[in-house]
Amino acid sequence: MGRLFGTDGVRGIAGSELTIELATKLGQAGAYVLTKEQAHQPTIIVGCDTRISGGMLASALMAGICSVGANAIYAGVLPTPAVAYLTRKHQVDAGVVISASHNPMEFNGIKFFNGSGYKLSDALEDEIEALIKNEMKDVTLPIGSGVGRIDYRFDLREEYVEFMKKAMPIDLSGLKIVIDCAEGASHYTSYKTLKDLGANLVAIHTNPDGTNINSNCGSTHMAELKARVVYEKADVGLAFDGDADRLLAVDENGKLVDGDELMAICGNDMKERGTLKKNTIVVTVMTNLGFSLMGEEHGIHIEKTKVGDRYVLENMLENGYNLGGEQSGHIIFTDDNTTGDGLLSALHLLQVMVHTGKKLSELASIMTVLPQALVNAKVPNHKKDKFMEYQEIADAIEALEKKFNGEGRVLIRPSGTEPLVRVMIEGKDQEVINEEAQKLAALITETML
């Protein structure tokens, strides 16, 4: 058995890899580890996205939670950042989200937050995993009145909406906005918040049926949103992913504005208003080189971490920064929430648009996006961390690094959540880097299968 936890919780195909047995064990071990220091009977909030497997896994997870004597509050369909917020607000002992984020509907995942609303450290995840592998040895399961209860609180989503409106009380009545909710967890909360703030709103993909989450929609499939923004003559398009912890945008001309550009816009606005702590933005090694050039030009220090929003957040907390994120649209504003929050990111962007009166295309011109190619190589999940052990792959990567040295960069890494090796190349010529990235990805797949 490999490590259960990836970069964002435990992920797998629901029913085969992420089974009800595993969900129950995660509920037991997670509740025990996260609440064992508590003198009171602990409580854990549980939310999920719109996948058909969410109810099945939530029931199994909560059975595990209750079996070790903890209580569960089931909040139903909620964005990941809403669970983080509600965990803090209600001062419960932990929160759990059942979601596979941007992945296809057959996948699902289980992600824990501690009582402060932060994702778990590697050490805590390892402790949970060790308990599971050890079959909960030495853990005494209560009986009778010691068993936990489940409380159903589907009204909690309204508290998140109110929190968003108070955090960013802006008047959106002058903006026409198209939102794509990915048939996911934001289909109610994002729509309600933006509507309440006065936006002229066009909403697409807000009718989840359990099987259509992320299906040709949301932040991983932007074509429809781009076309709709132009057709509607809208000011901006906003795309969320399945669990609504990430945001990508589209300007009035139908052009993509990615996470790097969104951070550049918001970061420069915060710097001008004196609210960007230490004039620093934290990003990952996948961030476009153009972002670093923007930072140099505007006097913003750019701090880099390995890939994964959890590592961005760790750096932010350790060093006292308040803005960070990823090109993929995970953006963290620690003054407002403890994790990436697509709706919060949207409101920060809209605030800049309202206060400056500028079009999004003009705001996005603050940075020049250098040509970048990202191609996924499909590989067996248990082999994805070992791609450099194949001499043919190692030689090909070395040759590419020499080719682009000084005029770009090559970054190869395993996905933390999927059976993929990601090939990213930056350079001057889009056609050349596309071709090279496709060739290397094909070689990796062919060699490792």
Catalytic residue among 67, 101, 219, 328: 101
Q: What share of the chain is helix, strand, coil (3-state, %, to 5)?
A: 45, 20, 35
Distance in angstroms (rounded) separating the CA atoms of residues 319 and 120:
18
Please give the radius of gyration of the chain, using alpha carbons only, rounded to the nearest integer: 22
Print burial letters for 102-125: b (CB count within 10 Å at least 16), e (below 16). Answer: bbebebbbbbbbbbebbbbeeebb
How far apart, in whole angstroms, are the C-alpha atoms of residue 163 and residue 8? 25
Three-class SS of residue 316? Answer: helix
Sign of CA dihedral 6, 12, 14, 19: negative
For 254, residues 6+ apart whose C-beta sits below 8 A from its C-beta are 226, 227, 229, 230, 237
Measured CA to CA, the distance from residue 429 to residue 414 in angstroms comes to 25
Listed as own residue / partner, the contacts of 401-404 with beta carbons closer than 8 Å and 24 or more positions apart are: 403/436, 404/433
Round to whole Å and give the CA distance between 339 and 81.
6
CA angle, residues 268, 338, 300, in degrees to nearest 5: 20
Task: Please indicate whether residue 99 is annotated as part of the active site.
Answer: no
Q: Taken in order 217, 221, 226, 227, is the CA torsion positive or negative?
A: negative
Catalytically active residues, by annotation: 101
